[in-house]
Amino acid sequence: MIITIDGPAGAGKSTVARALARRLGFRYLDTGATYRAVALAGARRGMDWGRPEELARLAEGLRIEISGDRVLLEGEDVTDAVRSAEVTAVTRFAADNPEVRRILVQWQRRAAAGQDVVAEGRDQGSVVFGDAECKFYLTASPEERARRRAGDFQAQGKSQAVESVLADINRRDREDVSRPVGPLVRPDDAVEISTDGLNVDQVVDRLEKIVRDRLAQVKRTTP
């Protein structure tokens, strides 16, 4: 079974997807990390971001692996490096590159082939796994997402005003829905769940019940 979880930044996709995968015994696939890995590789090579064809050639030859919560680039654990502010600032050059997206969509499909997977990102249910058996779209108000992000920064020892984070969230939302390739959309057949006022366990409980109901339905209809 393929389960997709899409939604805007700060809605809790990664945390919920990891927890749901653990409960179900599924593989967790953080597809956003693949774009970050390409961006990291480009930054390390001093990539000219104005030449997208060079980044695509680089992506074609990269060895990217997702092992549990860890991200490996050419065998190196870059889990923390791909989440740095520096990489975040240039990830859009990979995410908005049509050829890079084509390469990584193929990688994501190969990674999920023949496995039970929870895949989260921005276009999982709409593009990568359009025929997924179970699709979710997590959302939350911009204010709630900003508070969460500010809390994450504080936990990392970084102080950032909620107002500043909110402005960044709103900018990111505008960019994500208007991207030329792989824009953020809610698939028509996705179950939308607002995470406002809910903790992680409450959200995962809802998703898990829906998934197990689907699994039971499949078993009843399978000869």
Which of 23-27, 109-113, 170-174 comes out lowest in average pLDDT?
A: 170-174
pLDDT at position 101: 95
Which pLDDT band holds residue 152 (cuts at 50, 70, 90)? Answer: confident
Average pLDDT, the chain: 91
pLDDT at 213 (0 to 100) = 93
Residue whose C-alpha is closest to residue 5's, from 94, 118, 88: 118
Mean pLDDT lowest among 78-92, 116-130, 152-166: 152-166
- Which residue is it, tokens 């990539």? 47
pLDDT of 219 higher than 80: no
Q: Which of 32, 35, 38 is nearest to 17 (CA)?
A: 32
